[in-house]
C-alpha cells in the first residue's frame, strides 16, 4: 500500500463527518459548544442609566467653577446603593451619594467621583465638590451596551466564557447548540493492566486509554470510558455494539498496522465499513477510519506517542467538525530551531515533539522535548508542540519550522 499524504488522509475523513444535531443545554454547560441559534437582546443593557463610579450624583450646572481652592458646597440629599433607587428626584443645589451600578436619580445628569469630593465628617450634610463636571460625566445611559432587539450572536460561533456571561446578562438560562459528541474509548489486550501492581511477564500498563480519554475531554468532547477488554472476540463485539449504540464516535488503539491480526481488526472488518490507511507521517503512519453500525470509529496505532499524534492529526479535527466547528485545526506557528533536529529521508513528514519557548525578541524557538521514539511517552509529556520536519535530512539551528501548538 502506497503512503497517503497527510492532507489527503485528513480530507478523506472530514468529508465523511457531519455535525451532530442541535440540543438545548444550560448556559453553564455551553462553553466550547457551537451556537445554533440567533441571539437578540430582549431588553436594553443596561436597563437603566447608572453610574460607573462611586461618588455623588449631581446637576452638572451646580458644579460649574468648582476647584480644589474654591469648591462648590452641595446639600447631601440621600444615598443610593447598587440595587436601590432614589426616594425622590434630585433638586438644584443637592447631591446624592451613589455607588457603582446604582441608578442615576431623576434630576441628576452627572456623577462626581468620590476622589474629587470631600466631607467634613461621616455625619456631614454638606459635600465639597472640588471639580466641575459636564453633562453625562460617569453616567452609563440605558442601552449603552445593547439596545432591545439588537442581534448579538449568530449561529456558528464557539461559545466562550464571555459569551456565557452575555447570555446570562440577557436572562437566558439555556441555549441551542450543536450537541457535544459522546466519544467512547476502549482498550483491548490480555497484556494490559492498570494500577500500581507489579508487572508480570509480558505485561504493560494501559496508558493509551487514559491518555485518549484526557485528549477527548481537552478537546471539549464528552469522554466515555468503555473500559479494558480482554482478548475475547465475543466480549469485544459486545463492547463495539454497545459503544456504537450509546456513543457518537469510538476510539480504539492498536491493530491497524498492515501486519496486525487481532480480534479488533477482524471485527471491524466484519461489522464495519473501514478504510485502512498508511499515511506519509512519522509517528502514526497506520490509521483506520470507518463506521461500525453507523457510528464513526477511529482506529489509532498502538504505540502511545503514535496514538496521541494520530488523535491530534486525524481524530481531533473530525470530532470537532462533528461538534460543528469550522476551524478544526490546532493553532500553528513558525518557530526557529535552537538546535539541529535531524532525521533520515523516508518519504514521510516527521512530527518531532518539541518545547516551544519565546525568545527576548518575541520569536518562538524550539528544542527537542526528549526521546522521539513512538514508545517514548516522556518526550511527548514534556512537549508543547509538534514540529513538522519535511522529508530530508532535517533542519539546522536557525531554520524556520512550522509547529503545531498542543
Q: How far is CA 236 from CA 230, 233, 301, in A?
A: 8, 5, 18
Q: Convert the pLDDT of each residue in 122-176 to its tens digit.
A: 899 999 999 999 999 999 999 999 999 999 999 999 999 999 999 999 999 999 9
pLDDT for 97 equals 97
Please answer whether residues 400 and 389 qualify as being in contact, where contact means their C-beta atoms are separated by less than 8 angstroms. Answer: no
CATH of the domain at 119: 2.170.190.11
Least confident of 35-49, 81-95, 186-200: 186-200
Question: What are phi and psi for residue 289, nearest 5 degrees?
Answer: -145, 140
Residue 270 domain-assigned?
yes
Query: CA-to-CA distance for 371 and 352, rounded, in angstroms?
Result: 9
Cα–Cα distance between 357 and 333 in angstroms, integer? 12
Q: What is the pLDDT of residue 348?
A: 97
In this structure, the answer to whether residues 151 and 222 fall within a common structural domain is no
**Domain check: are 317 and 266 in the same one?**
yes
State whether the Cα torsion 202-216-273-283 is positive or negative.
negative
Residue 244 lies in a domain: yes
Could you write out the three-class secondary structure of 157-201? CECCHHHHHHHHHCCCCEEEEECCCEEEEEEECCCEECCCCCCCC
Task: Name the domain boundary from 276, 297, 322.
Answer: 322
**What is residue 71's DSSP assignment?**
P
Q: Say if residue 174 is in the same domain as residue 188.
A: no
Strands 349-358 vs 332-337: parallel, antiparallel or unpaired? unpaired
Q: Are residues 31 and 166 in the same domain?
A: yes
pLDDT number for residue 195: 81
Structural domains in the chain (count): 4
Task: For residue 291, give the CATH number of its domain.
Answer: 3.40.980.10
Q: Is residue 258 predicted with pLDDT exceeding 80?
A: no
pLDDT, position 257: 67
Distance of CA 350 to the CA centre of its chain: 27
Give the model's pLDDT for residue 206.
85
Q: Does 65 fall in a domain?
A: yes
pLDDT at 204: 82
**220-238 pLDDT tens trace:** 999 999 988 888 889 889 9
- pLDDT score at 194: 83
Task: Show which of 288, 322, 356 is a domain's final residue.
Answer: 322
CA-CA distance, 56 to 116, in Å (whole number)?
A: 10
Are residues 373 and 230 part of one domain?
A: no
Polymer length in residues for the chain: 406
**Would residue 1 count as lying in a domain?**
no
Same domain, 112 and 30: no
Of the residues 121, 140, 159, which one is the last residue of a structural domain? 140
CA dist., res. 135 & res. 288, Å (int)? 68
* Residue 327 in domain: no
Same domain for 272 and 168?
no
In a domain, 315, yes or no: yes
Q: What residue numbers bound the domain in which 75 lies?
A: 50-140
Mean of pLDDT over the chain: 94
For the cut 80, the answer to whether the pLDDT of residue 352 exceeds it is: yes
Exposed/middle/buried for residue 30 (C-beta within 10 Å: 0-12, 13-18, 19+): buried
Are residues 213 and 282 both part of a single domain?
A: yes
Query: Residue 92 domain-assigned?
Result: yes
- One domain for residues 219 and 305: yes
Instruction: Give me the percent of the chain exceeding a pLDDT of 90.
Output: 84
Q: Is residue 77 part of a domain?
A: yes
362 has a pLDDT exceeding 90: no
Amino acid at each position: 500500500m502506497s503512503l497517503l499524504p497527510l492532507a489527503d488522509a485528513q480530507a478523506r475523513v472530514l468529508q465523511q463527518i457531519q455535525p451532530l444535531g442541535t440540543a438545548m443545554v444550560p448556559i453553564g454547560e455551553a462553553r466550547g459548544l457551537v451556537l445554533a441559534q440567533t441571539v437578540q437582546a430582549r431588553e436594553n443593557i443596561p436597563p437603566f442609566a447608572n453610574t460607573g463610579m462611586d461618588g455623588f450624583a449631581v446637576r452638572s450646572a451646580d458644579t460649574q467653577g468648582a476647584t480644589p481652592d474654591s469648591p462648590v458646597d452641595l446639600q447631601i440629599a440621600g444615598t443610593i446603593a447598587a440595587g436601590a433607587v432614589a426616594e425622590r428626584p434630585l433638586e438644584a443645589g443637592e447631591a446624592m451619594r451613589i455607588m457603582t451600578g446604582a441608578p442615576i436619580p431623576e434630576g441628576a445628569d452627572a456623577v462626581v467621583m468620590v476622589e474629587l469630593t470631600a466631607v467634613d465628617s461621616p455625619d456631614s450634610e454638606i459635600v465639597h465638590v472640588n471639580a466641575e463636571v459636564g453633562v453625562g460625566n460617569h453616567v452609563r445611559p440605558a442601552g449603552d451596551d445593547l439596545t432591545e432587539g439588537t442581534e448579538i450572536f449568530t449561529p456558528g460561533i464557539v461559545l466562550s466564557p464571555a459569551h456565557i456571561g452575555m447570555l446570562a446578562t440577557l436572562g437566558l438560562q439555556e441555549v441551542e447548540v450543536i450537541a457535544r459528541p459522546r466519544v467512547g474509548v476502549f482498550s483491548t489486550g490480555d497484556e494490559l493492566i492498570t494500577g500500581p501492581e507489579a508487572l508480570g511477564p509480558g505485561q504493560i500498563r494501559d496508558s493509551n486509554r487514559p491518555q485518549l480519554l484526557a485528549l477527548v475531554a481537552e478537546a471539549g468532547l464528552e469522554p466515555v470510558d468503555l473500559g479494558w477488554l480482554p482478548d475475547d472476540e465475543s466480549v469485544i463485539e459486545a463492547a463495539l455494539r454497545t459503544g456504537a449504540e450509546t456513543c457518537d464516535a469510538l476510539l480504539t488503539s492498536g491493530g491497524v498496522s498492515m501486519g496486525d491480526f487481532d480480534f479488533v481488526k477482524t471485527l471491524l472488518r466484519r461489522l464495519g465499513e473501514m478504510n485502512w490507511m498508511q499515511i506519509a507521517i512519522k509517528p502514526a503512519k497506520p490509521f483506520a477510519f470507518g463506521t461500525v453500525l453507523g457510528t464513526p470509529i477511529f482506529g489509532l496505532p498502538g504505540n502511545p506517542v503514535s496514538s496521541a499524534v494520530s488523535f491530534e492529526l486525524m481524530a481531533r479535527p473530525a470530532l470537532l467538525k462533528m461538534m460543528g466547528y469550522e476551524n478544526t485545526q490546532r493553532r500553528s506557528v513558525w518557530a526557529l530551531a535552537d538546535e539541529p533536529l535531524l532525521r533520515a529521508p523516508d518519504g514521510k513528514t516527521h512530527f518531532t515533539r518539541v518545547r516551544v519557548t519565546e525568545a527576548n525578541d518575541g520569536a518562538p524557538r524550539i528544542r527537542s522535548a526528549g526521546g522521539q521514539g513512538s514508545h517514548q511517552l516522556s518526550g511527548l509529556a514534556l512537549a508543547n508542540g509538534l514540529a513538522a520536519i519535511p522529508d530530508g535530512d532535517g533542519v539546522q539551528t536557525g531554520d524556520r519550522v512550522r509547529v503545531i501548538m498542543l
